[in-house]
């Protein structure tokens, strides 16, 4: 009886505490709703997160209308322009919340279209025959579900495409990201007869939950039917390596990329390869970008994951030392002056490119002087496209 009387007497105080803890109480009632969402999808037949086999077919695309390549007789196709570009899903320089100290999450239709139109214009200006793209959205809420592979095919002179998801999730319960399907793509003027998605090692420095929802990096390898007078085994290989890993995941991914290029070379195939390796060239002038990448709210001595390359400076050595691999930009040329070849800068920190992360390689030969780092495309993405022209003269072909 005493306890009940006491409780009645103290009721106003208890009520006050209750109101003070209203937010906590509200969370208690919100939590079951969140659990219900998760439970529903864990038990459903469709997996919440798409996981991939080690090697599986990539998704094929075709432009709505085929642009006939210039009427060049097959035997006269002696040059192929190749370009690589991390297009940042068409977000241009919008301060997105994960990679640029920003707070934007979901773009508007107008923003996406403006971004894509800028990309298409640049692609048409460079006019590549083969285009390696990274961070392309195929079906993502953040880009109003525009299939960017199809859109770019339909709004440039590229005809065929292949797409390999790096991030395919029905619903990411983080800041309303929702559905996402992002990946690597290769667009080509000529028909792609085979396309493989090759799974790269997952990051080893994350919790199991984050790793489950995180990007599943891959290499996209396609066979392109170039109409030359000689039958060619011609491949395009596209990689987007880990950006923010703090362990050796990225090194494993780069090594696997190199291994695939070696296999193609041993098999007598010709390849053009490249992408965003998220790695700086050996002997770069600067290896630490903590200052450049720091967000305004970070402490002065804070260094964001993936900003310090000090321990990684030799990870790309083999691409410059191996006699069967030809980088579009020779190391000697880069060392003369680094900055004209920089391809990346974080969005919010100044207006200067500050590191090279994007590369092109072949086992044939690039035409000297054709490699261009298109730093004029600053407003179109946080990466600059890199293009180069491959010498396809038959007497060069092994």
Partner 1 sequence: MKTGIGKIIVCLLLLPLSMRGNNNWSSGTATILPKGRWEMGLFQPLRIGQTERIEWSIHPILSFQIPNISVKVAHPRFNGWEFATRHSMIYPTPLLRRLRLKGFGISTLTEMDVGGIISNDPTISQIPHMISIKNEALMTKKIGVKTLLTGKGGISFAIKNGMLDSRTTIDLPIVFPRLGVYYNGYAVNLGADLFQQLTKKLQFLSDVDMILLPGADEDFTFEHKGLFIWNKHSDFRILVGYKLVYGEYPFGTQWLLLPLFDLEWGRSK
Residues that bind partner 1 (CB under 8 A): 25-26, 29-30, 32-34, 37, 40-41, 43-46, 98-99, 103-106, 108, 139, 141, 144-145, 170-179, 205-207, 209-210, 213-214, 243-244, 246, 304-306
| Minimum distance, C-beta of residue 220 to partner 1, in the bound complex (Å) | 22
Helix-helix angle 11-20:2-9, to 10 degrees = 60
**At which residue do the structure tokens 């090594």 appear?**
255
| Minimum distance, C-beta of residue 51 to partner 1, in the bound complex (Å) | 17
**Residue 177 or residue 388: which is nearer to partner 1 going by CB?**
177
Q: Which DSSP symbol is given to 344?
A: B
**Residue 32 or residue 350: which is nearer to partner 1 going by CB?**
32
| Minimum distance, C-beta of residue 66 to partner 1, in the bound complex (Å) | 25
**Both tokens assigned to 182:** 């992002």
**Residue 44 or residue 193: which is nearer to partner 1 going by CB?**
44
| Minimum distance, C-beta of residue 27 to partner 1, in the bound complex (Å) | 8
Burial class of residue 43 in the structure, from the number of CB atoms within 10 Å of its CB (0-12 exposed, 13-18 middle, 19+ buried): exposed
Q: Which long-range contacts (CB under 8 A, 24 or more apart) does 228-232 make?
A: 228/74, 228/75, 228/77, 228/392, 228/394, 229/74, 229/75, 229/394, 230/394, 230/397, 232/270, 232/397
**Residue 99 or residue 157: which is nearer to partner 1 going by CB?**
99
- Name which of 268, 83, 66, 45 is nearest 185 in CA terms: 83
**Residue 34 or residue 393: which is nearer to partner 1 going by CB?**
34
Give percent helix, percent strand, percent coil of the chain, each to the nearest 5.
30, 25, 45
CB 369 within 8 A of CB 328: no
| Minimum distance, C-beta of residue 179 to partner 1, in the bound complex (Å) | 6
| Minimum distance, C-beta of residue 244 to partner 1, in the bound complex (Å) | 4
* Residue 119 φ then ψ, to 5°: -65, -45
How far apart, in Å, do the first and last CA atoms of the chain sit? 98
Could you tell me which residues come within 8 angstroms of residue 233 by beta carbon, excluding any fewer than 6 positions away?
Answer: 223, 267, 268, 269, 270
**Residue 67 or residue 108: which is nearer to partner 1 going by CB?**
108
**At which residue do the structure tokens 């996402």 appear?**
180
**Residue 104 or residue 194: which is nearer to partner 1 going by CB?**
104
Upper half-sphere CA count for residue 98 (Cβ side, 13 Å): 14
| Minimum distance, C-beta of residue 91 to partner 1, in the bound complex (Å) | 12
| Minimum distance, C-beta of residue 259 to partner 1, in the bound complex (Å) | 27
| Minimum distance, C-beta of residue 136 to partner 1, in the bound complex (Å) | 16
**Residue 4 or residue 208: which is nearer to partner 1 going by CB?**
208
**Residue 37 or residue 75: which is nearer to partner 1 going by CB?**
37
**Residue 33 or residue 299: which is nearer to partner 1 going by CB?**
33
| Minimum distance, C-beta of residue 112 to partner 1, in the bound complex (Å) | 12
CB 346 within 8 A of CB 99: yes
Given the DSSP bridges, would you call strands 79-86 and 234-240 parallel, antiparallel or unpaired? unpaired
């Amino acid at each position: 009886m005493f306890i009940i009387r006491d409780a009645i007497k103290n009721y106003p105080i208890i009520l006050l505490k209750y109101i003070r803890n209203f937010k906590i109480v509200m969370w208690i009632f919100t939590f079951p709703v969140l659990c219900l969402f998760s439970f529903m999808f864990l038990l459903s037949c469709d997996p919440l997160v798409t996981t991939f086999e080690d090697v599986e077919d990539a998704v094929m695309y075709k432009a709505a209308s085929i642009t006939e390549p210039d009427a060049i007789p097959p035997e006269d196709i002696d040059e192929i322009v190749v370009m690589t570009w991390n297009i940042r899903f068409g977000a241009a320089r919008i301060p997105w919340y994960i990679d640029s100290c920003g707070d934007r999450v979901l773009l508007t239709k107008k923003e996406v279209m403006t971004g894509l139109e800028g990309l298409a214009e640049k692609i048409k200006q460079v006019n590549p025959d083969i285009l390696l793209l990274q961070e392309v959205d195929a079906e993502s809420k953040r880009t109003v579900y525009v299939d960017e592979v199809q859109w770019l095919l339909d709004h440039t002179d590229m005809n065929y495409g292949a797409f390999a998801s790096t991030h395919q999730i029905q619903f990411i319960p983080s800041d309303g990201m929702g559905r996402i399907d992002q990946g690597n793509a290769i667009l080509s003027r000529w028909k792609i007869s085979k396309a493989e998605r090759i799974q790269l090692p997952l990051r080893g420095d994350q919790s199991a939950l984050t790793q489950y929802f995180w990007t599943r990096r891959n290499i996209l390898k396609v066979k392109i039917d170039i109409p030359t007078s000689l039958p060619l085994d011609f491949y395009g290989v596209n990689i987007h390596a880990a950006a923010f890993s703090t362990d050796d995941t990225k090194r494993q991914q780069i090594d696997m990329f190199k291994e695939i290029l070696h296999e193609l070379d041993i098999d007598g195939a010709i390849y053009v390869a490249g992408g965003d390796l998220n790695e700086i060239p050996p002997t770069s002038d600067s290896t630490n970008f903590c200052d450049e990448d720091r967000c305004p709210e970070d402490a002065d001595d804070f260094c964001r994951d993936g900003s310090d390359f000090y321990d990684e400076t030799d990870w790309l050595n083999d691409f410059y030392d191996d006699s069967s691999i030809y980088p579009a930009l020779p190391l000697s040329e880069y060392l003369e002056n680094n900055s004209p070849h920089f391809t990346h800068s974080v969005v919010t920190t100044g207006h200067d490119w500050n590191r090279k992360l994007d590369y092109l390689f072949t086992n044939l030969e690039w035409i000297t002087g054709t490699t261009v780092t298109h730093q004029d495309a600053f407003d179109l993405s946080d990466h600059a496209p890199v293009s180069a022209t491959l010498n396809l003269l038959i007497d060069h072909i092994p």
